[in-house]
Copies of this chain bind each other. A is one copy, B any other.
Amino acid sequence: MTDREIGGLGAEPPDRVPGGNAQGKFGGLGAEPPVGVPGGGAPGGEFFTTLGVSEALAGFRPRRRSDTERVPREQALGRVPASAVVSPAPLPGFARSTVDGYAVRASDTYGASDSLPSYLDVLGSVRMGAAADVAVRPGAAVSVPTGAVIPDGADAVVMVEYTQSTLPGVVEVTRPVAPADGIVRADEDVAPGAELAPAGRPLRAQDLGLLAAAGVVDVDVTAKPRVGIISTGDEVVPPDTVRLAAGQVRDATASALAALVTEAGGEPSPRGIVPDDADMLTKTLEQAVSECDMVVVSAGSSVGARDMTVSAVRALGEPGVFCHGLAIKPGKPTLLAECGDVPVIGLPGNPLSALVVFRLVGLPTLRLVGGITYPPPSATTAARLSRSVPSAAGRLDVVQVRLSGEVAPVATPIFGASALLSLLTTADGYVVVDEAATGLDENATVTVTRY
């Protein structure tokens, strides 16, 4: 990872590139080219055409899918069922009372009122968790607590609030009940064979509750996609480095990417830092592709290093590069590729750009590989924009914002002289300015996706 793409909203690239520019002379390290520059380009460097983000997401559909594995239910929170989980039996499994009261024949209560109650003989009671050892005959009742088995012969339960007990062994019912009142059928919660949880939706707390109720012990889920994370750059050193030499920076991107992968249900597989060396990158990439379900290379897509990533991807065979440059700011020098069936995403060098674009493009790919067909909803807030935000048409802009105000939230864009990671840590969320827009007006209502 390098800061090759540094230069956020404060450092717009120029509109035109002069003919004889020196692109590529810095050992292949080039600034992010301007928007709309077609393919081809300067000696020693190749410009890329940019693809719209939604086009890219629609078109980039790697074939890789992670394996299926069986996990115990207690460890299945957030895991993704590989196929629908169905109930082996009906739930609750027996007709139950939904109230405290008396199991009766509904016809015995018709016309009952406070002034003219139905008098029923109390034959006994049903204990919680036990079979009913007495049946209800005409003119009689059996007391039942909420959740207890409905005794044979009864077709309704009258709530205790609508009864009085003035004589021993007799209950007075003061309101009529209809058949099925106060009763849950044996299969009313879940019918046998019914779906307890759909395939492709990460299991939630209540899903695990229903699985427990149905006695489901193990669940077949997709394995967590293993995501290889490769950092590149001669200047990048491990984050645990105590003293930095001149010009060195610690690897921030790999840690943050690992966290995003974990949050999204993947398993990060850190592959360390590779210097700016094409052969080493090719070898590292090859091994990662052979061991992972998806690979992310940070800083593999700026002008020079991008050539390295591209040649490494090409060395690994078909189908290769899908797109090379996205119409997004920050994050334009993004590479989407497939080695065999493994998606390879080349991210910009600076951490902010890398994280922004991985969130928007990498996570959907990760979910695809991991079999998530119901993406989890993201937290959003409608807010008023505190100031106008410029944007170039044809480019998707991701603007970091702070939020203030509970009742009438205000989103304040955070700009910096350059793409500093601290912008992302002070932000409460981001606003997307879509391709068609040429900016957002002050006081516009915007949707903030919350971090």
Residues of chain A at the chain B interface (Cβ within 8 Å): 2-7, 11, 13-14, 17-18, 20-23, 25-27, 29-31, 34, 73-74, 77, 91-94, 96, 98-101, 114, 125-132, 143-149, 159-166, 171, 174, 180, 182, 184, 188-190, 196-197, 204-215, 217, 233-236, 239-242, 244-260, 262-263, 276, 302-303, 349-351, 355, 376-382, 416-418, 420-422, 424-425, 427, 429, 450-451
Contacts and interface: CB of A to CB of B under 8 A. Distances in A.
Contacts of A239: 73, 211-213, 215, 217
Contact of A421 (B125, B213, B247, B418): B213
B213 A351 contact: yes
A421 B128 contact: no
B23 A205 contact: no
Contact of A98 (B77, B94, B303, B417): B417
A43 B369 CA distance: 61
Nearest to A143: B26
Contact of A249 (B11, B147, B165, B242): B147
Contact of A248 (B29, B129, B241): B129
A415 to B, nearest CB: 13
A129 B73 contact: no
B147 A26 contact: no
A57 B17 CA distance: 60
Nearest to A254: B212
A259 B73 CA distance: 11
Contact of A161 (B18, B215, B263): B18
Contact of A73 (B26, B211, B213, B255): B255
25 contacts: A3-B98, A3-B184, A22-B165, A23-B160, A25-B160, A30-B100, A91-B422, A94-B246, A129-B233, A129-B248, A130-B247, A180-B417, A188-B418, A205-B259, A206-B256, A206-B355, A208-B255, A208-B258, A210-B424, A212-B251, A213-B239, A215-B239, A215-B242, A217-B240, A377-B379
Contacts of A260: 205
Contact of A236 (B29, B129, B379): B129
A421 B233 contact: no
Nearest to A10: B98
A244 B93 contact: yes
B128 A235 contact: yes
Contact of A420 (B25, B184, B212, B245): B184
A377 B253 CA distance: 24
A91 B166 CA distance: 82
A104 to B, nearest CB: 14
A312 to B, nearest CB: 19
A146 B31 contact: yes
A121 to B, nearest CB: 15
The 7 A-B residue pairs with the shortest CB-CB distance in the complex, in nearest-first order: A129-B235, A209-B256, A3-B147, A131-B246, A212-B239, A29-B145, A205-B259
A424 B209 CA distance: 10
Given A96-B3, A244-B93, A379-B377, A255 B165 contact: no
A146 B256 contact: no
A165 B25 contact: yes
Contacts of A197: 425
Contacts of A101: 31
Given A146-B6, A212-B239, A256-B206, A11 B161 contact: no
B247 A149 contact: yes
Given A128-B235, A251-B212, A100 B31 contact: yes
Contacts of A93: 244, 249
